[in-house]
Amino acid sequence: MAEEKTTSSSGSSGHRTTMSNAKIEVEKFDGTNNFGMWQCEVLDVLIQQDLDITLDAKPDDISEKDWAKLNRQACGTIRLCLAKDQKYFVMKETSAKELWDKLENKYMTKSVENRLYLKKKLFRFQYKQGTSMNEHLNNFNKILADLQNLDVEIDNDT
C-alpha cells in the first residue's frame, strides 16, 4: 500500500496530494488468481524500478554486464511476486523476457476453448442478489480485461 502525504497550501490551490515512501504490494500469483491482473501489477512494479526494459530485446547502448544485472534484478522482482509452487517452473531463468514469456504462455493461453469460455461467461453475466454494485462492476470488468488479454474484440453487435 502506498503512503499518502497530503499538504495544504494557504493559497487558492487547495490541497495537493503527493506520494512518498511508496511501498508496492502485489498479491503473489498462485496459479488460481487472475493472471492478467497479476501481470499488470508486476509490470507496474517493473516500470517503477526501471526494469521493464528487460522485457524487450537488449538495447545496443547497454553493456552485457549491465544487461545481465538488470535481468537478474527483473527476474528476482518477478519471482518475488510468485507463490512458491509457481517459482519452480521459472526458478533457473536468467532472462526476464524468457521468464515473462514462459509465464504468459502457461497461464494466458489464447486457445479457442478459453476464448469461448470467457465469451460465454460474459454473455451469461448478470447481477447476483446481495452483491454490491462495486463488486458486480469489478467482476464485469475482470471478464472484459481477461477477454482483452486474449485479444478478443467485443463490439456492440455481439
Could you state, in order of their start, the residue ranges of all structural domains in the chain? 35-107, 112-149
CB 49 within 8 A of CB 73: yes
Q: How many CA atoms lie within 13 A of 98 on its CB side?
A: 10
pLDDT in tens, 88-136: 989 999 999 999 999 988 887 655 667 777 788 888 889 899 989 999 9
The stretch 49-56 carries a mean pLDDT of 95
Q: What's the rounded Cα separation, in Å, for the pair 17 and 8?
A: 9
* Confidence bin at 75 (pLDDT 50/70/90): very high
Question: Please, what is the average pLDDT of the chain?
Answer: 81
Q: How many CA atoms lie within 13 A of 22 on its CB side?
A: 8
- Residue 16, pLDDT > 50, answer no
Q: What's the rounded Cα separation, in Å, for the pair 74 and 26?
A: 15
Portion of the chain with pLDDT greater than 70, in percent: 80
The stretch 41-65 carries a mean pLDDT of 94
Say if strands 3-8 and 15-20 run parallel, antiparallel, or are unpaired: antiparallel
- Residue 67, pLDDT > 80, answer yes
Confidence at residue 65, expressed as pLDDT on a 0 to 100 scale: 96
The model's pTM: 0.62
